[in-house]
Structure 1
Amino acid sequence: MAQALPVRSRRHSRGRFKGRGGAWVIGLSVLVSLLALLPIAFVIGVSWDIGWGQIVALVWRPRVAELLLNTLLLVLITLPLCVTLGIALAWLTERSDLPGRRLWSLLAVAPLAVPAFVHSYAWVSLVPSIHGLPAGVLVSVIAYFPFLYLPLAATLRRLDPAIEDVAQSLGLKPWAVFFRVLLPQLRLAIGGGALLVGLHLLAEYGLYAMIRFDTFTTAIFDQFKSTFNGPAANMLAAVLALCCLVLLGSESAARGAARYARVGSGSAREPCLVQLSGRSRALGLALQALTCLLALGVPLITLGKWLIAGGREVWQLAELLPALEQTLLLGVVGALLTTCAAVPIAWLSIRAPGRLQRLLESCNYITSSLPGIVVALALVTVTIHFARPLYQTTFSVLLAYLLMFLPRALVSLRAGIAQAPVELENMAQSLGRSPARALWLITLRLAAPGAAAGAALVFLAITNELTATLLLAPNGTRTLATGFWAMTSEIDYAAAAPYALLMILLSLPLTGVLYHHSKRTAGR
């Protein structure tokens, strides 16, 4: 009898879905997913139009080989360093008795509030000769390691301490417990975080342009400026998209089919912390302090130096206030639009999971993994050839944000809808409410915290977005990111400092929300 109840409830919800109320949900989901396929269609269409002979001539060039080598070296060196640093910091803050663990945990997440190109700006103004692969690796590690620290720390908080107790009772030393018991449990977190960092490495433009390190993204942007959407830029975009798909496939294969969930509620207690010796404690504190100095101290000290050196003159309110207004406007409208577009897909994934839902969801995830410059080039091509009035309009910018950041809203919204009982939605429909009104009045109200978290993540991404905004924004549009880039392009680092500071101040509250949300979902 205990098993019959969920079966009836599931059939009941699917019956509702198959009625007239589900058609508009499917229609909107298909429309959003078709829009998400535009960048993929752009890559395929460009390759088809160019022809095989010209593809070979454009791809098999020394320049492409150089860019590919730079990209491979950047990814192969940066990812292991980020993984190692993330694991070390997460273990120190979650499994050791390191003094000030909570403070160090917060400081390990805080670098997310500093855009990657602001990190690069700080290092270039501090050490003007810094450039090339070593500089790219250094700045990438300190800018992106929080993407690994967050899931690793959250996973360590959720792990049942009993598995470590059993390992220790069998005579394993602390290091053996870590490598043989803890590390295998972190496999999914490592894979997901490494994938996120890898996609950022492939997509980033401002960071590498400032330190004069050539990647596919910097080369595509340079080609676009010189030839305006010429074949060379399009084929470089196709190779970059292929690299992203290879990275996605590699992470999926590495994930495997192993099971990581436990049966039962587990142990409801805090894990036993490893007691660090005097030398180990000093090394742990030194690692935390050095990471904090490089990831937070360098950009904040550099900004302070330029603000003091520039004085009042750098605070050009006539330019700063419109840039702040444009950033807030695009961020708020883009976050609302993206969250609304994610509603039908999120509802399908919870209320009617199946092959269609998985296919529609996959379209959005694959497109969001593509670099912003590929998405921007796709929209430039489509609008020029098929919708010329939309070229370089606010609509095209918002559409790019939707395609790039929809999964950020989708994940949080899906979790919120899952916590809203389907019975309440069905009851509202039985009382005469239309499916749309039942979804709006009941489900979305209960899922509001998840929707707000997803919208906050999208807003944070939009405020720091540079590449797509530079290519798609109407003439005269200036956000904090593009204003910062314009000042640094003129080597006016003092005038760029207020833009960077405002971006950090906008991002800090949302980064704090993300940190506390990860603590809360882990049960602390």
Structure 2
Amino acid sequence: MTVALAVAVAALALLPLGYIVWYAFDLGWSGIQELVFRPRVGELLWNTTRLVLGTVVACCVLGVGAAWLVERTSVPGRRIWHVLLVAPLAVPAFVHSFAWISLLPGLDTYAGALLVVTLSYFPFVYLPVVAAFRGLDPALEDTARGLGLSTWAVFRRVQLPQLRVALLGGSLLVALHLLAEFGALQMLRYPTFTTAIYDQYQATFNGPGATTLAGVLVLLCLVLLLAEIRLRGRRTYARGTRGATRPVRPVALRGLTAPALLGLAVLVGLSLAVPLGSLGYWMARGASALDWNLLTSTTGTTLGLGATAAVLTTAMALPAGWLAVRARGRTTTLLERSTYLGSSVPGIVVALALVTISIRATPWLYQTVPVLLAAYAILFLPRAVVTVRSAVEQAPPLFDDVAASLGSSALDRLRRITLPLLAPGIGAGAALVFLAVVTELTATLLLAPTGTRTLATAFWSASSSLDYGAAAPYAVVMVLLAAPATVLLSRDARRGLTT
């Protein structure tokens, strides 16, 4: 029974990829050539590639530089800076774009798009690099300094090679998020594959142009995944012993303290103060015309969808997470890994696949809540699977075996032993899915039933009509709902930091 449920969940996760592959075969090579090898596709490929490369490089520079200052130097207020550097993740990327474009309408250029997405995504590099810095053995750095290497030489020759895995992982996150990003780039009027797919869908509904562009976008995602694996290699860096952690001797900045503080302040100001300040400004401007009833109903709809998706997705994660630990093998590993593939597919591709499949196979399900919940499950299933698997690994099977030997039924053991042991992991996974659904835009725009408005779609509707005062309250509520995720991300990392 558990295996059958896991197979069904994996099949759902693979549905968008299967649809793209099936459509490509159905279209044929000549049809693919006609739709793909066009000047417009080349232009989109150039726009997307240069934005991804520029953003990854900028995020690496900012993320690694900020992590080094916080973890390896004497910069004052390291704990506070850490929280402030993680905080931009509480502001969705399309809210970042709204904040900037509403203040500077001329920001709809490549440089503007690069600035906005970099400020939105650099914490994806900062967080893993901070964690990697904390795991490095300070003895290697002290030895290098004892041999006469400068601070820069120690960073380049000792620290940076050990940061490679974290840096590549963070860069992959940035690149995949950017390939999937729609709202921020549409608001900045910067054309990429996601914006072009949406425009094609709006113009021709279920036309082949949108599906073909979706296939190219999926290929780009797969290329990134393979490139990251190739660049990471098999070399690992680990401590030689598992004894007490040697304390880090911070690099004394001396005369560079003021420039370091200024740099951190500018980064936090641009990535956090500007969006929050812009929201506050437009909130004050539109306060008199605020429709509290509409805001309340929209918030209620969002919370309802988020809670339902969290419960459903976490329940779907249980079979794969359980089998991956309690029945290890090639089949169960394959089933677990299959659930991760859906999250690597951009939301707009998932939505397009579900739209087409629901119209052709089950037209009575088109634009209904179940299809929308299926999209959320495909996109956010890995967040639940990871936490559930971690909980199962920490729950010893001994208790279940003892209860079985005492005559307890399987259902009774599930209720009284298994579920209480897994409760922390299930709760964490549900919370992560809930927070992701609250700020999801692309799939909701395409799949939400007529008349259903979430905070993200209501914000999008108001901002698209340039009614910034009306859009701000929805963005503020989304930020407030997403803030707990930031606390969870920074809480463990804060431990061990000294001011």
The 1:188/1:444 distance shift into structure 2, 3 A limit, reads: farther
1:363 counterpart (338, 342, 347): 338
User: Are the aligned partners of 2:139 and 2:246 in contact in 1 as well (CA < 8 Å)?
Assistant: no
User: Are the aligned partners of 1:37 and 1:367 in contact in 2 as well (CA < 8 Å)?
Assistant: yes
- Identify the residue that residue 399 of structure 1 maps to in structure 2: 374
The 1:332/1:92 distance shift into structure 2, 3 A limit, reads: same
What is the alpha-carbon distance in structure 2 between the residues aligned to residue 38 and residue 455 of structure 1? 22
- Identify the residue that residue 88 of structure 1 maps to in structure 2: 65
Give 3-state SS (helix, strand or coil) of 2:105's partner: coil
Give 3-state SS (helix, strand or coil) of 2:107's partner: coil
The 1:132/1:273 distance shift into structure 2, 3 A limit, reads: same
- Identify the residue that residue 415 of structure 1 maps to in structure 2: 390
1:19-418 maps to which residues of 2 (within 5 A)? 24-278=1-255, 280-313=256-289, 315-418=290-393
What is the alpha-carbon distance in structure 2 between the residues aligned to residue 169 and residue 442 of structure 1? 55
The 1:379/1:289 distance shift into structure 2, 3 A limit, reads: same
The 1:495/1:371 distance shift into structure 2, 3 A limit, reads: same
Deviations 1:311-333 (A, max 9, x none): 321x2112111110011111111
What is the alpha-carbon distance in structure 1 between the residues aligned to residue 477 and residue 50 of structure 2? 33
Give 3-state SS (helix, strand or coil) of 2:191's partner: coil
What is the alpha-carbon distance in structure 1 between the residues aligned to residue 351 and residue 248 of structure 2? 47
The CA deviation at 1:519 is 4.3
Residue type at the aligned position of 1:209: Q
User: Are the aligned partners of 1:113 and 1:507 in contact in 2 as well (CA < 8 Å)?
Assistant: yes
The CA deviation at 1:94 is 1.1
User: Are the aligned partners of 1:160 and 1:266 in contact in 2 as well (CA < 8 Å)?
Assistant: no
- Identify the residue that residue 472 of structure 2 maps to in structure 1: 497
The 1:520/1:443 distance shift into structure 2, 3 A limit, reads: farther
The CA deviation at 1:518 is 4.1
- Identify the residue that residue 450 of structure 1 maps to in structure 2: 425
The 1:93/1:522 distance shift into structure 2, 3 A limit, reads: closer
Residue 479 in 1 paired to residue 454 in 2?
A: yes
The 1:234/1:193 distance shift into structure 2, 3 A limit, reads: same
The 1:444/1:95 distance shift into structure 2, 3 A limit, reads: farther
1:468 counterpart (440, 443, 456): 443
User: Are the aligned partners of 2:136 and 2:239 in contact in 1 as well (CA < 8 Å)?
Assistant: no
User: Are the aligned partners of 2:79 and 2:498 in contact in 1 as well (CA < 8 Å)?
Assistant: no
Give 3-state SS (helix, strand or coil) of 2:286's partner: helix
Deviations 1:3-41 (A, max 9, x none): xxxxxxxxxxxxxxxxxxxxx221111110011111011
Task: Report which stretch shifted further, 511-520 or 91-100.
Answer: 511-520
What is the alpha-carbon distance in structure 2 between the residues aligned to residue 37 and residue 260 of structure 1? 34
What is the alpha-carbon distance in structure 2 between the residues aligned to residue 522 and residue 336 of structure 1? 35
Give 3-state SS (helix, strand or coil) of 1:129's partner: helix
Residue type at the aligned position of 1:298: V
Task: Report which stretch shifted further, 280-289 or 104-113.
Answer: 280-289
The 1:81/1:30 distance shift into structure 2, 3 A limit, reads: same
Q: TM-score, normalised by structure 1?
A: 0.92
The CA deviation at 1:434 is 4.3
- Identify the residue that residue 19 of structure 1 maps to in structure 2: none
Task: Report which stretch shifted further, 148-157 or 65-74.
Answer: 148-157
The CA deviation at 1:405 is 0.6
What is the alpha-carbon distance in structure 2 between the residues aligned to residue 195 and residue 501 of structure 1? 29
The CA deviation at 1:437 is 4.6
Give 3-state SS (helix, strand or coil) of 1:218's partner: helix
What is the alpha-carbon distance in structure 1 between the residues aligned to residue 436 and residue 21 of structure 2? 27
Residue type at the aligned position of 2:450: N
Cα RMSD after superposing both structures: 1.8
- Identify the residue that residue 7 of structure 1 maps to in structure 2: none
What is the alpha-carbon distance in structure 2 between the residues aligned to residue 110 and residue 397 of structure 1? 29
What is the alpha-carbon distance in structure 2 between the residues aligned to residue 266 and residue 80 of structure 1? 36
The 1:522/1:462 distance shift into structure 2, 3 A limit, reads: farther
What is the alpha-carbon distance in structure 1 between the residues aligned to residue 231 and residue 448 of structure 2? 39
What is the alpha-carbon distance in structure 2 between the residues aligned to residue 207 and residue 397 of structure 1? 21
- Identify the residue that residue 426 of structure 1 maps to in structure 2: 401
Residue type at the aligned position of 1:336: V
The CA deviation at 1:238 is 0.6
The 1:347/1:292 distance shift into structure 2, 3 A limit, reads: same
User: Are the aligned partners of 2:351 and 2:446 in contact in 1 as well (CA < 8 Å)?
Assistant: yes
Task: Report which stretch shifted further, 472-481 or 180-189.
Answer: 180-189
User: Are the aligned partners of 2:384 and 2:430 in contact in 1 as well (CA < 8 Å)?
Assistant: yes
What is the alpha-carbon distance in structure 2 between the residues aligned to residue 351 and residue 446 of structure 1? 14
Q: TM-score, normalised by structure 2?
A: 0.96
Residue type at the aligned position of 1:291: L
Give 3-state SS (helix, strand or coil) of 2:245's partner: coil
The 1:391/1:183 distance shift into structure 2, 3 A limit, reads: same
Task: Report which stretch shifted further, 450-459 or 375-384.
Answer: 450-459
Specify every segment of 5 or more residues in structure 1 that has no aligned partner in the other structure, as ranges: 1-23
User: Are the aligned partners of 1:484 and 1:499 in contact in 2 as well (CA < 8 Å)?
Assistant: yes
The CA deviation at 1:235 is 0.2
User: Are the aligned partners of 1:393 and 1:473 in contact in 2 as well (CA < 8 Å)?
Assistant: yes
Residue type at the aligned position of 1:384: I
What is the alpha-carbon distance in structure 1 between the residues aligned to residue 498 and residue 329 of structure 2? 30
Deviations 1:395-451 (A, max 9, x none): 111110100011111122222221111222322333333456535533442232222
What is the alpha-carbon distance in structure 2 between the residues aligned to residue 350 and residue 134 of structure 1? 47
